[in-house]
A = this chain, B = another copy of it.
Amino acid sequence: MSGEGTPRRPALGVCYYPEHWPEERWATDAAMMREAGITVVRIGEFAWSRLEPAPGDLRLDWLRRAIETLEAAGLEIVLGTPTACPPKWLVDRSPDMLAVDREGRPRGFGARRHYCFSHPGYRDESARIVTVLAKAFGKHPALVAWQVDNEYGCHDTVLSYSAAARDGFRAWCAARYGTIDALNRAWGNVFWSMEYRAFDEIELPNLTVTEANPAQELAFRRYASEAVVVFNRRQVEIIRRLSPGRDVLHNFMGGFTDFDHFALSTDLDVATWDSYPLGHLERELRDEGRQRRYLRVGDPDFQAFHHDLYRACGRGRWWVMEQQPGAVNWAPHNPAPAPGAIRLWAQEAFAAGAEVVSFFRWRQAPFGQEQMHEALLLPDGRPNESYEVAASLCRELAALGPPGPPVPAEVALAFDYESAWAWEIQPQGRGFRYLDLCLGFYRALRRLGLAVDIVPARAEAVDGYRLVLLPGLFAEDPALAAALADGDQRVLLGPRSGSKTGEFQIPEVLPPGAFRSLIPLTVLRVESLPPFERLGIAGRGPASHFTLWREFVVAEAGVEVVDRTADGGIALAARGRAAYLAGLPSPAYALEIVERLARDAGLAPRRLPEGIRVRDLGPLRYVFNYGAAAQDVSDLLAGHDPVVGEAHLEPCGVVIGARKVQDA
């Protein structure tokens, strides 16, 4: 698990809070973990008030004893830095360390994440406590990894409108733009007389009379994202210095785009994320149809998308740091997972290359905000059902042995955090969401049985794929355009791709800006449509249409019009390896488009049955059933011998086949 070696894989882990339980219990817990087959345990995040109950009064002994207890049971430790929960005394000493919300109200003590990333004093305090911990435990043999802070941005904490943030933003602007005239030009501040005379006149874009300048909004989003990266890096540097050889990781959140996970991950060894399929289903997806269909099993693609995303963030190394073990407490409604769902989720993660799947949490807390969040143990310390599921999973994993090398994906889907901010700032049509747009294409790819890499939208990231999708990539990027023009990938652009410059202006050559070098067409105008309006695609069935968004495109000579809208506009155009899609496709139309592109790219897409998904890992083929009915998946296992499960796949079923030798 250490940064120096190769981690044993796959492994199960668990999140544990020794400070919540009597010390006498610790050894029992450790023994029960081992008995289930769990080998990795995360501790320490949120414990600042116990590590330093009063200023300078450091109490590290209990943590040392906890580590030793766990170590004695053969467990490997991931130590969390406690900076997500500064203690009350620290807040009282620096009340201005609190974040300020968009309405101008300080976000006070009494829960967690009560700090502003921009506050220099809190950055120093964070560095101080991390230094203390890294000195104390950094070279402990049981320590295999550090988790820096916890779920950056959770509870909408990336954007703070505090005085510290304002000062930080001003300095950031000065560094980025050099002169105030350059900033005024970049933002187009001549519009509505928004011009500044000096950097210290700049205001934050909240509490304006109507919406602020989108360029300023984007700049502030960039600043705020970088503030998270800088905050994180300061801890990472301390850890690297004082705790050599240990992996450094952070646990990101699903469906969360307020800061750039790619950028932050460059400072990490491993990217991890917190996967709560049922909570995400209701809260992140907001699609009652899917919620009805997948109430207790979760969306079949949401987790998979994030697995692929964080594999990219971690440059191949990634974990699920928190895995839902039962009903949770934070979604509007919190159903229990279907029988088999927890195993299904874990196996999908391992099939996607996870090194560790760690359950949150070990034992249900009888107190505090998460007392209704299930755990592997009941609040009374007895095993919950999920404890048995975890134990069974460990046995299954042991039987499978170490995984083979990953099978390279031939399709890349670019995911770009700045684009998420851009379209949040300027949806232009209520309901336009970048994540939904990308998820829509991801679903289509996955329904077609194609392996996908999620990649950052950079020239160097798209090399080697047969098909690259860049939907909704907001900013034109000459380097990326050039790389794609020079390469041999098929490329799908649109809608909205390249419709802005990096400073949130419309490109001089009009959208798709620099991407016109790939396909010479121009988006002259756009329209957004209310939910009831469906713009049909000529010659296709009623399920194929544009919703919410459509562009009026003029194509130059040599561009083929592949599809037209029912009113005669260009829906899909292509030239050579490049295609441009001029609207937001319905799921059926997205499937048709991707299927065609994949075929053109020499891939072999095949439409999987509803609810069935497939992944290859080394010689193993995993088939999953997220649907409500049993399915025979023999055809998907052709050329494979089942090693786990069988081709008749019950709901929540997983079958794993090993590639027959003659096929290898």
Contacts and interface: CB of A to CB of B under 8 A. Distances in A.
Interface stretch (A308-316, A403-411, A524-532, A594-602): A524-532
Contact of A208 (B82, B85, B109, B505): B109
Interface string A363-384: 0111111111010001110001
A212 B207 CA distance: 25
B334 A428 contact: yes
Interface in A476-534: 504-510, 524-530, 532-533
A323 to B, nearest CB: 17
**Overall SS of chain A's interface:** loop
Contact of A329 (B86, B329, B428, B506): B428
B288 A46 contact: no
Contact of A201 (B50, B92, B108): B92
Contact of A193 (B82, B214, B335): B82
A74 B315 CA distance: 64
A65 interface: no
Could you say which of A82, A89, A192, A365 has the most chain B C-beta atoms within 10 Å of its C-beta? A192
A72 interface: no
B380 A509 contact: yes
Contacts of A292: 532-533
Contacts of A108: 203, 206-209
Nearest to A49: B193
A272 interface: no
A114 B292 CA distance: 46
A502 B460 CA distance: 60
Given A428-B334, A510-B378, A528-B335, A369 B191 contact: yes
Contacts of A379: 506, 508, 510
Interface stretch (A98-106, A259-267, A556-564, A638-646): A98-106
Copies of this chain, complex-wide, total 3
Given A193-B50, A335-B528, A552-B336, A211 B105 contact: no
A53 interface: yes
A157 B209 CA distance: 8
A529 B335 contact: yes
Contacts of A107: 207-209
A176 to B, nearest CB: 17
B429 A506 contact: no
A269 interface: no
Contact of A526 (B207, B327, B430): B327
Given A333-B429, A335-B527, A506-B371, A365 B191 contact: yes
Contacts of A525: 326-327, 336, 374, 384-385
Interface of A: 19-20, 46-50, 53-54, 82, 85-89, 92, 99, 103-114, 154-155, 157, 187-197, 201, 203, 205-216, 282, 288, 291-292, 295, 326-327, 329, 332-336, 364-372, 374, 378-380, 384-385, 426, 428-430, 504-510, 524-530, 532-533, 548, 552
Given A49-B194, A103-B105, A336-B525, 6 more contacts: A53-B195, A191-B368, A213-B368, A215-B367, A333-B529, A333-B530
27 contacts: A19-B190, A20-B191, A49-B190, A49-B194, A50-B195, A54-B197, A85-B194, A87-B193, A87-B195, A88-B195, A88-B197, A88-B201, A92-B201, A99-B209, A110-B209, A110-B216, A154-B210, A188-B371, A191-B365, A213-B369, A214-B368, A292-B533, A295-B533, A332-B430, A372-B526, A384-B524, A385-B524
